[in-house]
Chains A and B, each alone.
Chain A
Amino acid sequence: QKEVEQDPGPLSVPEGAIVSLNCTYSNSAFQYFMWYRQYSRKGPELLMYTYSSGNKEDGRFTAQVDKSSKYISLFIRDSQPSDSATYLCAFSQSSYKLIFGSGTRLLVRP
């Protein structure tokens, strides 16, 4: 079993749709949960960062963590064409090392 599972997509939605991106993980020692956005041929950009179960909201983005199910989600409201990118989930224990998912490609159609 992989440590992190993430559907590669691509996920294609119309502009204005609500997008749901998900990752599952197997390592119960993960304490920190992150979502990064990566545009083509660019470095990842940190979107959301949380360390507890529950929801965290930042503008159009909501991160959700369910430690009991080992499942995290990122919701994007009112999606825009500029949101088209690859979204990477990332996890960390009490160390520097980040474990990344393989990324989900999102395409928001105008």
Chain B
Amino acid sequence: GAVVSQHPSWVICKSGTSVKIECRSLDFQATTMFWYRQFPKQSLMLMATSNEGSKATYEQGVEKDKFLINHASLTLSTLTVTSAHPEDSSFYICSASTDRYEQYFGPGTRLTVT
């Protein structure tokens, strides 16, 4: 149980284009979903927290107009990186939670912006 999927697992896009990443909880309903970013050999940094039907809460320093988060249902959240640039290349990981403290992570999406 508690399986979270992400799609795509790897995406390459050109600078200036937008990319959408999906996060789904497959066997449970997630009250909250989280989006993290991880640079090579570094830890996960929380970007934003989203509750179904509400606007996402972004961490300090994260541009909400650049990283658009939509939490359309209790099983689906999407992260759209708008006008991507090479510095946005990173590993993006989502997690889903049914309560406050246990988060179940997706397998991650590797974004490469050329």
Contact = CB atoms under 8 A, between A and B. Distances in A.
A8 B93 CA distance: 20
Contacts of A42: 107-108
B101 A49 contact: yes
A87 B95 CA distance: 17
B91 A98 contact: no
B91 A41 contact: yes
A17 interface: no
A96 B43 contact: no
Contacts of A36: 105
Question: Which of A88, A97, A101 has the most chain B CB atoms inside 10 A of its CB?
Answer: A97
Given A32-B101, A95-B100, A96-B97, A43 B49 contact: no
Nearest to B46: A97
A39 to B, nearest CB: 10
Contacts of B105: 36, 43-46
A108 B45 CA distance: 27
Contact of B104 (A46, A98, A100, A101): A46
Interface of B: 4, 6, 32, 34, 41-46, 49, 91, 93, 95, 97, 100-108, 110
Interface of A: 8, 32, 34, 36, 41-46, 49, 51, 88, 92, 94-98, 100-103
